[in-house]
Amino acid sequence: MSSGRFAPSPSGDLHIGNLRTALLAWLCARRTGRDFVIRVEDLDRVREGAEARQLADLAAIGLDWDGPVVRQSERARFYDAALASLAGRGLVFECFCTRREILEAPSAPHAPPGSYPGTCRDLTEAEREARRQDRPAALRLRSDVATFTVQDALHGTYEGVVDDFVLRRGDGAVAYNLAVVVDDAQQGIDQVVRGDDLLSSAPRQAYLASLLGSTPPSYVHVPLALNTEGKRLAKRDGAVTLAELGPQTFGLIVASLGMHGSSPRELLETFEIEQIPRDPWIFVPPA
Q: Are strands 147-152 and 156-161 parallel, antiparallel or unpaired?
A: antiparallel
**194 annotated ligand-binding residue:** yes
Rounded to whole angstroms, what are the CA distances from 271 to 151, 192, 195, 215? 21, 17, 19, 26
Instruction: Give the single-character DSSP code of 66.
Output: S
**10 annotated ligand-binding residue:** no
Whose CA is closest to 54, among 41, 36, 35?
A: 41
**79 annotated ligand-binding residue:** no
Q: 3-class DSSP state for residue 203?
A: helix
**28 annotated ligand-binding residue:** no
Our answer to whether residue 231 is catalytic in this structure is no
**7 annotated ligand-binding residue:** yes
**5 annotated ligand-binding residue:** yes
User: In angstroms, what is the C-alpha Rg of the chain?
Assistant: 20
Whole-angstrom distance, CA of residue 175 vs CA of residue 172: 9
Catalytic residue among 235, 260, 263, 282: 235
**176 annotated ligand-binding residue:** yes
Whose CA is closest to 218, among 237, 194, 242, 200?
A: 194
Alpha helices, H only, the chain: 16-31, 50-60, 76-88, 99-104, 125-132, 176-186, 202-211, 242-245, 248-256, 264-268
Alpha helices, H only, 62-189: 76-88, 99-104, 125-132, 176-186
Q: Residues marked as binding for Zn(2+)?
A: 95, 97, 116, 120
Q: Residues marked as binding for L-glutamate?
A: 5-9, 41, 176, 194
Residues marked as catalytic = 235
Q: Residues marked as binding for ATP?
A: 235
